[in-house]
Amino acid sequence: MTTAETTLGATLRAWRDRMSPAAAGLPSGRARRAKGLRREELAELAGISVDYVVRLEQGRSTTPSGQMVAALARALQLTDTERDHLYRLAGLAPPTDAEMSDHIPPGLCRLLNRLGDTAAAAVFAADWQMIWWNRGWAALLGNPASKPLKLRNFARDTFSTDGTGPHLSQWPVTSLDQDMVESAVVSDLRRATGRFPDSRRLTDLIQELTTGNERFAELWAAGAVGAHREDHKIVEHPVVGRVTVDCDVMAEGDADRKIVVLTAAPNTEDETKLRLAVLSGTPDPARG
């Protein structure tokens, strides 16, 4: 194998070629020239631009950030060993147990992709950084790929320090118990500090929110430890109108990832609207 075949770009191309659309939760019925994922499909799954994927594969960009590498590893459903190899090709040290992982096991991706049009689902790291979402989430709340990586964080959305949020929903979403949500997010972050006491990313986030948001500082000082488990939300969708959904949060694995699933009560108008929203695809917020 030549050196050219072992570069970051060549490795990404090889892994993209081996990844089937079906495994990524994408339709595969139409005629395809690419034997694996198209570049635009990888970009969509990773939440990055197509141009950046092109530059990486052509070797015109060779130093992606750690978050970018993690996003590509998730989209390509790499094993832990492959993920670590990708980090090294990018000139980065692979994640250690001291830092939170943004990696998602391939089996979990396949399981969540099978939800189809019945639910909106996303996965968050221990610090509430969004690391994966399905097409249902993008259709119901807007595509997070349009936002910078740093802003795809539910804790930052809940306790905005600059008044520009929210960013994880592109049209109004109301919680039926916002006080409970705020308390739960803070107590969940405190629990994460016990699991990842040496995480610089987690420490920096808590420092940012403590100094920039009075409500967060007040709740943090209370010292509660817990987990965010459920909520009920009203989504003002620009195409199908108001949709009431249940929000369930499940913890997964030692990495303390959080799986968030939004569903509507069965056999209701809300369930019909949710399915219609997913089937209609991601609306243009400018036209909403």
Q: What is the pLDDT of residues 195-227, one digit of tens each?
A: 899 999 999 999 999 999 999 999 999 988 887
Those residues of the chain that have pLDDT short of 70 are 1-5, 28-34, 97, 116-117, 282-288
Euclidean distance between CA atoms 29 and 27, whole angstroms: 6
Euclidean distance between CA atoms 170 and 163, whole angstroms: 15
- Domains identified in the chain and CATH numbers: 3-89 (1.10.260.40), 106-287 (3.30.450)
Question: What pTM does this model have?
Answer: 0.75
Residue 133 contacts residue 121 (beta carbons within 8 Å): yes
Instruction: Find where tokens 């689902």 sit.
Output: 121
Q: Cis peptide before 266, with omega less than 30 degrees from 0?
A: no
Euclidean distance between CA atoms 104 and 83, whole angstroms: 10
Q: SS3 of 251, please?
A: strand
Predicted pLDDT at 80 = 82
| Strand ranges, E, within 58-206 | 120-124, 130-133, 173-175
Question: Which tokens in the block code for residue 11?
Answer: 């490795």
159-185 CB burial, b ≥16 within 10 A, e <16: beeeeebbbbbbbebeeeeeeebbbbb
Predicted pLDDT at 217 = 96
